[in-house]
Amino acid sequence: MLAAEAGASRNTLSAYETDLRGSSAALEGELASAQRADLERLGAGWAHLARSTVARKSAALRRFFGFLADEGLRDDDPSAALPRPGGGRPLPKTLSHADIARMFEALDREVATRKPLAFRMAALIELLYGSGMRASELVSLPRAAVRQGSPFLILTGKGGRERLVPISDRALAAVEKWRNHVPGDARWLFPSGKKHLSRIRLYQLVKELAVKAGIPPDRVSPHVLRHAFATHLLEGGADLRTLQTLLGHADIATTQIYTHVDSARLVALVNARHPLVDAPGSEA
C-alpha cells in the first residue's frame, strides 16, 4: 500500500519495515493482534530513545493499524495507545558561510593534487551544496544526468515526484572534470563496483572533508549541506515557496522548519529599511 498508493520512497519503505519487524519481534510475532495494553508496554520500552525515533516508530505502527482497519482485517485500531512525543520540530543543523568557505578551501587543496577521486569529491560537494539534493538522489544520478551547458536537471525524488534542480556553472565544471574519469559504459555518474556510490560512503567522504577543513565531523553530513543550501538561500532573499520547489518538499509545512531564518531576515529588513528608522525619537 505504501509503495503503490502512497508513493513512498525506498528509504521510507525500508524504515517502516525495520520498525514493524522490530515491534513484531518485541511482541513475539503478535503485532497484528496487539491490544492497547500491548502497545502501551511497547511504547514504554522506547523511553530511552530520542523523541524523533519514538515519533517515527509510532507513526509506522499507526499507519500499520490504520491499514489493517481499512482492509477489514481488524474491527478496531489500538494505535491511540502509542506515545506521541510532544514538543516542536527541532531546527535543522546547518553550517555558517565561514564553515562552507573552509570546506571549499580544503576541497581546493584536494583538487590541486589532480587525483581522480579528488575530482569526484569536488563534484559531490558542488552538487550537494549548490543544488540541495538529497544524498540518495545524488549518488544515484545517471552518468548523463548533468549535461554541459544545461543549467538544470530533472530529478525524481520522494514519492516519484519530479522537480527541476538548478546546477551552477561551478557544479557543471566540477562534474565535467570528474566525468572524464568515469568509464564511458558506466550507468552512474558516481559508479562504485557494479552499482553506484552508497549513501553511507558519501556520508563518510563528507565527514573526511570536514576533518580536513578543521570542522568537527559530527557537525557535517550530506543532509547538513542540504540544510546549508536552504538556509543560505533564505538569507540571500529566497522565499519559502521557491525553497519548497527546490528541495522537493510535497508540503510547505516541511519547508517551514526554515522560517526561523526567514523571520530573522524580515526583522533585519524592517530595522534597516522601515521609513521610521531614521525618524526623530526612533531610538526611544
Identity of residue 171 = A
Active site residue 134: yes
Question: Grid coordinates representing 181?
Answer: 574519469
Closest CA to 141 of 194, 203, 187, 82: 187
Catalytic, out of 36, 62, 158, 177: 158
Active-site residue flag, 226: yes
Q: Which of 57, 102, 120, 134 is catalytic?
A: 134
Candidates 51, 177, 223, 265; catalytic one: 223
Among 212, 241, 218, CA closest to 125:
212
Q: Respond yes or no: is residue 97 known to be catalytic.
A: no
> How many Å apart are CA 202 and CA 138, to the nearest integer?
9
Alpha helix positions (H), the chain: 10-26, 36-44, 51-70, 97-111, 116-131, 135-139, 169-179, 199-212, 222-235, 240-247, 252-255, 259-273
Catalytic residue among 57, 102, 207, 249: 249
Q: Which residues of 65-86 are buried (b: 16+ CB within 10 A; e: fewer)?
A: beebeeeeebeebbbebbbeee
38: helix, strand or coil: helix
Taking a C-beta distance cutoff of 8 angstroms, is the pair 190, 120 a contact?
yes
Active site residues: 134, 158, 223, 226, 249, 258
